Amino acid sequence: AAGALAPQFETTIDGVCDGEGRAFAPSRTMLHEGDRSLLLLNDAKRDAVYRMDLERGEVVDEWRTSRDVRELVADTKHAQSDAAHRTLLGVNERGFFTLDARLPNADKVVGERVYQYGRSEPALTCAATTARGQMVLGTAKGDLRLFSERHMHEPRRDALRLGPRATTKLPGIEHAPIIGIDVTADSKWIVATTRTYLLVVPTSLDRGATNGFETRMGARKPRPRRLQLRARDVQRVGGDVNFRPARFNDAPETSIVTASGRFVITWNFRKVKQNRLHVYSIAALDDDVMDNAFVAHTQQVLVALPNDVQALSRTARK
């Protein structure tokens, strides 16, 4: 499609193995330490985070955690681009917590920064943060929960370690579980991923004076834009869509990248904001994409495949 962005192959890091040489397919990835490291999660070992040195192209550290980790999130959007920044957030079905690799003990969970929700609440599935440290959580029931900067920095409420209250709760469509989420640095747009479609949600209120992170939306909840492939493109990607978590590129955000199987799909975000929802491109790789991450301030996307990590450069398709 005209104006869309298409990934072009650039380089490959062969083989993803833990410290004992056992191969695994990363379920989640996050850049870290000035984009010099790539953090990896392994669904077969939920109490560990692996750090890959991108210059060496191999896993060099395994951080142990006293809690299962389903998702990794930067404290603030692009904090991972700061080489001196060491903390990040881990998320699981019942809550979230701070991880700090500098802790001298084996467990890298910061004890006073652990928050959990009751079992009556929907299971959490994913999270993302803005440049100010606001957070959005996705749930298994398709809800989005928006948290203000102030609420994210409130002290933990009592010994139950209750998490902060959401400023705004946005219902999903058809109760489809949210499997991935991202937010623009300025907090004005959210992209939420379900298995077969993406939801793009504006958060601004009062002509941009505030947003749903800082002010309750109430009756002013927006109508999401739904992104899905045309029928002919569903057949092109194998007849069954199974999206991986979609990401915005670095600010100023111009594209949304996801994948289904071995196909990388890039939507033109500028067109999406104009309600032109079918301006996208599709590029094929040799293997199924497990996850993707943008390298800040570049035109590069890292994609995790079952047996390696590939770096792709993004060039405009004419």
pLDDT band per the 50, 70, 90 thresholds, residue 301: low
Nearest to 181 by CA among 189, 171, 169, 190: 190
Q: Is the dihedral of CA 68, 63, 18, 72 positive or negative?
A: positive
Residues 255, 248: Cα–Cα separation, whole Å: 6
Per-residue model confidence (pLDDT) at position 5? 43
* C-beta of residue 248 within 8 angstroms of C-beta of residue 255: yes
Residues 258, 225: Cα–Cα separation, whole Å: 16
* C-beta of residue 15 within 8 angstroms of C-beta of residue 308: yes
pLDDT tens by residue, 47-76: 999 998 988 888 999 999 999 999 999 989
pLDDT tens by residue, 11-44: 566 678 887 888 888 888 888 888 788 899 998 8
For the cut 60, the answer to whether the pLDDT of residue 282 exceeds it is yes
pLDDT tens by residue, 167-225: 999 988 888 999 999 999 999 999 999 999 999 999 999 888 899 999 999 999 999 99
Per-residue model confidence (pLDDT) at position 277? 97
Q: Among the listed ranges 77-81, 238-242, 279-283, which one has the minimum average pLDDT value?
A: 77-81
The C-alpha angle with vertex 44 and arms to 38 and 285, in degrees rounded to 5, equals 55
For the cut 50, the answer to whether the pLDDT of residue 6 exceeds it is no
* C-beta of residue 192 within 8 angstroms of C-beta of residue 258: no
Tell me if the bond preceding 245 is cis, omega within 30° of 0: no
Structural tokens at position 105: 């003990």
pLDDT band per the 50, 70, 90 thresholds, residue 309: low
